[in-house]
Structure 1
Amino acid sequence: METIELKKLGGAVIYGVMAIFIIVIVASLIFSVTLRFTSLQESSIALLVSIISFISLFIGGFMSGGKGKQKGWMLGGTTGVVYTLIIFLFQYLGHDSLFSMQQVVYHICYTLTAMMGGILGVNLSGGKKEA
């Protein structure tokens, strides 16, 4: 691969990861305010948190695929892996704990979801159809 193409693909992945974190931060703020000022419990919104997580990974993959315009499965997958790596490092370095088996399964599913988003992003952006 050429250096210019690698920069384009890397930029697309960073764009997707930033989109994921923006969505997650906004959702976290909304959930924390809701939990603080209502009688809702954290367990009552657990499913909604999971759904928002999957949607944010799909959108991040979609945006990276759309920006890269080729190899959507790779861009989306890389976006999901970078997100997982950042979360893992935060958890390991900040809280001194590894992923549980449940978290590993979630993050594999997150990466697959981001891959699907990347494929769709390439195909809807008018990029190469080999996604």
Structure 2
Amino acid sequence: MEAKKFGVSVLYGVIAILLLAVISSLIFSLILHFTDTQEKSIRLLVTIISFFSVFAGGFICGGKGKQKGWLIGGSTGLLYSIIILMYQYLGHSSFFSMEQLIYHICYILTAMMGGVLGVNILSGHAHSS
């Protein structure tokens, strides 16, 4: 895979993740603001949507890259985690906690799975065993 195609695919995946995160954050902030819902009561839903967003980003980048889904999906998840780490470190002067580190490792693995499925489903190169 040429570097340009790889980079564009990863960029598409990260942009998809960030767009889904912004949209879901807006929806949850409106729900929290205009209802009596407490943040702790929707924590699981927020986590599920976070994993879905990362999976969708991996799926999109895998479909765009058309090969090496595990590598391109993992790169997308890694770049997303690095962006979040930079925001947290530069904006709040703190590194990942152990819990956050585990979440981000799982995000990378989830993006890898999305990348593999994206390559196999969207590119039409499904391999039969």
Map of 1:82 onto structure 2: 79
Alignment of 1:1-131 (within 5 A): 5-124=2-121, 125-127=123-125, 129=127
C-alpha displacement of 1:128: 7.4
Looking at structure 1, the residues matched to 89 and 43 of structure 2 have their Cα atoms a distance apart, in angstroms, of 22
Structure 1 runs of 4+ aligned residues shifted over 3 Å read none
What is the count of residue pairs matched by the alignment? 126
Aligned residue for 1:91, secondary structure, equals helix
Report the 3-state secondary structure (helix = DSSP H, G, I; strand = E; otherwise coil) of the residue aligned with 2:94: coil
Percent of aligned positions that are identical:
63
Unmatched tracts of structure 1, length 5 or more: none
Residues 70 and 128 in structure 1, CA contact (< 8 A), matched pair in contact too: no
TM value normalised by structure 2: 0.95
Please report how far the alpha carbon of residue 127 of structure 1 lies from its aligned counterpart in structure 2 after TM superposition: 3.9
Query: 2 CA distance for matches of 1:108 and 1:55?
Result: 15
- Which runs of no fewer than 5 residues in structure 2 stay unpaired? none
1:7 Cα offset (Å): 0.2
Q: Which amino acid aligns with 1:55?
A: F
TM-score by length of 1: 0.94
